Every structure is written in structure tokens, then in C-alpha cells.
């Protein structure tokens, strides 16, 4: 349902949350409460997503009683930005153990390689505002690929014209547009696609749990080489001009062998141990917070 603006909503929730011993959050907005208010409540923050693109300088990162991260690399990065290492727990990537997928429900008319396009929802990190519609049109005009377009819900909120785009594409048998079902967050699409096409979205990390071809869109002309925030771009070819998009996609399968080692390394560094026990470790950390003196 439609929700009121986040901060007024959070302000109304503050008295309720202040009476709880522990609050678990999977987003950052809630962390304004322990950042700004003298609260005894112990906030446990489960980092949203995984990967190399994150604002670790945000002062809210230092507010939780405990932060749960997927891998050692993220603990080291947060500690380097002032978060007490004793307040960071490495659990592994919880979502990697999620098995209750509803399924992608894909019904393409022809069996072709399937591309998943996932632009980031923040304008200063995203390919959508400069290249997004033309990227979709170029893939569909080429006619040799099926396309899944299942953007982050925040992009749907920021770009209401996406609904008009979905209406325009409705009825085609070579594209699947999903602007808000549970499949957009449960890993259905990252499991179903053959090729990942994106920019800086952390969904690439989930996709790389099973190494497959990737192509990245440098729509903002980032100087990315040597920048740790763009570590994900070592996992595939980076396109600097939209005219080169289809050729890069065509090459992705043949060149995949060049990137497999980098993909496995990046996934391991981002996701930690994939032993199926991440949810249990996270739950144990929450219970420790609940019973802390």
C-alpha cells in the first residue's frame, strides 16, 4: 500500500521502538534513531545487499549496536571508516540460503539466451537515466535475446514512467517486465538469467553465485580502474558507448573464460562462506543482542 514519507513515519514509530530491547533493521533509514536520539534500544543492522559499491562514510553506519555483514572484506571496509570492529559480525550472505523462491514465471515465446538488466536505483550510480530505455530497445530490436527487466523498487518509485514502459512492452513474448512482485527480491531472476547486464547494482553478486557472463554499462563515464568501489567491473566487459552494447553482449559468452577467476574471487570476497549457515549465525547474533546485559 502507499506509505507516508519515511522520516515522518519513523518519527511516529520512535516511541514504540524505544520500548524494545532490540530492533533489527535491513535498511539504513531506521538508523537515524540511534544516530540522533539517546536510545537504550540495541539496533542490529543487517546490511542490505553485498558488493563493492556502498556509502561507508555515512555516520549512521556507526550507530548500530551490532552490524551483520556477509564477508571479512566488508568488516574491514567498515572498520576503516570508523565502525568499531567489535560491533561487526561476519555471518555469510543470508540471502544465499533462501530457498522459498516463487519462481520467475518466465514464458518467453522462443528459447533464446536471456539477459537480466538491473540498473542501480540511485541516479549518480545508474545507467538508467542516460542509457536505460535505449538499452532495452536495442536488445529487443536485435531480436536474438530474451530480456528480463526487474529493477529495484526504489527505481520504480523514482521513475514513475516505468509503468508506461511496462504498458508499451506488454504482450511481447521476448521481454518480461516486473516492477514489484516478490520475484524481484527473492533471487528468482538472478538464478534464471544467462547474461547479467547492469552498472553498480549489488544483484551482480547474487548472479555470480553461479559464474556466468556479465556486461557492465559505464553510462556516467566513471574512471573505474583501480577504484575499489568498482571491483565488480572486473567480472565482465565494460561498455563505454551505447553503440557498443550489442557487440559486447554477443562477445560475453565467448569471453567468459577470461573473467571466470575474477568472478569467483569477487563473489567469494563479497558473499563469504556459502555453507547454508548464514541465517543461523545471524539469528544467533540477534539473540545475543537480546540477552546482552
| Averaged pLDDT for residues 192-197 | 96
| Residues sharing a CB contact under 8 Å with residue 79, sequence separation 6 or more, in sequence order | 85, 88
Q: Map out the domains of the chain as residue ranges.
A: 6-93+274-291, 114-271
Instruction: Choose between 240 and 81: higher pLDDT.
Output: 240
| Averaged pLDDT for residues 40-61 | 79
| Averaged pLDDT for residues 153-168 | 92
Statement: residue 17 has pLDDT above 70: yes
| CA 102 – CA 186 distance, rounded (Å) | 8
292 φ, ψ to 5°? Answer: -65, 145
- Give the helix/strand (H/E) hosting 175: strand 175-177
Instruction: Choose between 90 and 97: higher pLDDT.
Output: 90
pLDDT category, 53, cuts 50, 70, 90?
Answer: low
The domain over range 114-271 is classified in CATH as 3.40.50.2000? yes
CB atoms within 10 A of CB 178: 19
| CA 100 – CA 186 distance, rounded (Å) | 8
Query: Under the phi-then-psi rule, with left for phi > 0, alpha for psi from -120 to 50, and beta for the rest, what region is 151?
Result: beta
| CA 15 – CA 23 distance, rounded (Å) | 12
191 alpha carbon, distance to own chain's centre:
14
pLDDT category, 172, cuts 50, 70, 90?
Answer: very high
Per-residue burial over 50-68, b = 16 or more CB atoms within 10 Å of its CB, e = otherwise: bbbbbeeeeebbbbbbbbb
17 alpha carbon, distance to own chain's centre:
27
| Residues sharing a CB contact under 8 Å with residue 169, sequence separation 6 or more, in sequence order | 136, 140, 149, 175, 177
Condensed to tens digits (0 to 9), the pLDDT of residues 232-290 reads 999 999 999 999 999 999 999 999 999 999 999 999 988 888 888 999 999 999 999 99
Do residues 229 and 201 lie in contact, with contact meaning Cβ atoms separated by under 8 Å? no
CA of 82: how far to CAs of 26, 42, 50, 73, 212, in Å?
20, 19, 19, 15, 35
Q: How is residue 116 written as a grid cell?
A: 537480466
pLDDT category, 55, cuts 50, 70, 90?
Answer: low
Residue reference for cell 529495484: 152
Sign of torsion, CA 188 4 199 106? positive
Q: What class, spelled out in words, does domain 6-93+274-291 have in CATH?
A: alpha beta
pLDDT category, 119, cuts 50, 70, 90?
Answer: very high
Query: Are 6-93+274-291 and 114-271 in the same CATH fold?
Result: yes
CB atoms within 10 A of CB 38: 6
Residue reference for cell 521513475: 159
| Averaged pLDDT for residues 212-219 | 98
Beta bridge partners of 25: 45
Statement: residue 152 has pLDDT above 60: yes
pLDDT category, 103, cuts 50, 70, 90?
Answer: low
| Averaged pLDDT for residues 29-53 | 86
Q: How is residue 247 written as a grid cell?
A: 557487440
| Averaged pLDDT for residues 70-94 | 91
65 φ, ψ to 5°? Answer: -65, -35
**Mean pLDDT computed over every residue of the chain:** 91
Give all strands of the β-sheet with 214-217 in edge-to-edge order. 175-177, 146-149, 114-118, 195-198, 214-217, 237-239
Q: How is residue 4 written as a grid cell?
A: 507516508
pLDDT at residue 1 in the model: 65
By percentage, how much of the chain surpasses pLDDT 70? 96
Amino acid at each position: 500500500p502507499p506509505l507516508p514519507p519515511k522520516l515522518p513515519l519513523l518519527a511516529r514509530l520512535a516511541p514504540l521502538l524505544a520500548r524494545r530491547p532490540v530492533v533489527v533493521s535491513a535498511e539504513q533509514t531506521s538508523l537515524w534513531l540511534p544516530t540522533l536520539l539517546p536510545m537504550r534500544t540495541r539496533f542490529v543492522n543487517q546490511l542490505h545487499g553485498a558488493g563493492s559499491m556502498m556509502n561507508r562514510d555515512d555516520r549512521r553506519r556507526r550507530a548500530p549496536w551490532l552490524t551483520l555483514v556477509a564477508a571479512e572484506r566488508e568488516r574491514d571496509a567498515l572498520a576503516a571508516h570508523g565502525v568499531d570492529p567489535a560491533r561487526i559480525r561476519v555471518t555469510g550472505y543470508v540471502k544465499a540460503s533462501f530457498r522459498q523462491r516463487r519462481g520467475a514465471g518466465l514464458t518467453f515465446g522462443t528459447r533464446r539466451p536471456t539477459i537480466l538488466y538491473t540498473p542501480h536505483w540511485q541516479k549518480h550510480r545508474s545507467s538508467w537515466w542516460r542509457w536505460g530505455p535505449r538499452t532495452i530497445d536495442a536488445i529487443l530490436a536485435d531480436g536474438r535475446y530474451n530480456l528480463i527487466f526487474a529493477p529495484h523498487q526504489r527505481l520504480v518509485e523514482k521513475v514513475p514512467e516505468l509503468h508506461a514502459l511496462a504498458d508499451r512492452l506488454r504482450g511481447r513474448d521476448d521481454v518480461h517486465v516486473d516492477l514489484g512482485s516478490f520475484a524481484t527480491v527473492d533471487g528468482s531472476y538472478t538464478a534464471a538469467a544467462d547474461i547479467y547486464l547492469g552498472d553498480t547494482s549489488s544483484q551482480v553478486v547474487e548472479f555470480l553465485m553461479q559464474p556466468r557472463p556479465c556486461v557492465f554499462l559505464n553510462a556516467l563515464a566513471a574512471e573505474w580502474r583501480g577504484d575499489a568501489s568498482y571491483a565488480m567491473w572486473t567480472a565482465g566487459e565494460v561498455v563505454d558507448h551505447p553503440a557498443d552494447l550489442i557487440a559486447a553482449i554477443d562477445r560475453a559468452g565467448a569471453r567468459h573464460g577470461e573473467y571466470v577467476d575474477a568472478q569467483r574471487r569477487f563473489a567469494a570476497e563479497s558473499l563469504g562462506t556459502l555453507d547454508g549457515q548464514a541465517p543461523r549465525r545471524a539469528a544467533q547474533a540477534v539473540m545475543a543482542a537480546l540477552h546482552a546485559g
